[in-house]
């Protein structure tokens, strides 16, 4: 797990009930200065991570933007349910 994956996982872990279903993956991007991070969890936990009107997702994305400044990368965080 990369540093950004670990940071995102640590941010999301306390917010989900089924911690075993939570995973964070880095996907390749066509832009070398962009990092795509996907959060996979069951549907109830993804709903909790997104929050009402996306407030939790927005906050998580802002925190990850700050974390990615050290790596000089643009970051995108996507939430996926399974």
pLDDT tens digits for range 2-61 = 899 999 999 999 999 999 999 999 998 888 888 999 999 999 999 999 999 999 999 999
Extract the tokens encoding 56. 């939790």
Diameter over CA atoms, the chain: 34
**Per-residue pLDDT at 45:** 95
Element (H, E) at 36: strand 34-41
pTM, to two decimals:
0.89
Domains, the chain? 3-81 (3.30.300.20)
């Amino acid at each position: 797990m990369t540093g950004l994956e670990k940071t995102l996982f640590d941010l999301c872990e306390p917010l989900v009930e089924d911690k075993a279903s939570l995973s964070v993956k880095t996907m390749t991007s066509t832009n070398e200065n962009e990092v795509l991070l996907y959060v996979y969890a069951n549907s109830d936990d993804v709903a909790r991570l997104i929050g009402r009107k996306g407030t939790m997702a927005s906050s998580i994305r802002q925190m990850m933007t700050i974390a990615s400044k050290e790596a000089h990368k643009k970051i995108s965080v996507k939430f996926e349910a399974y």
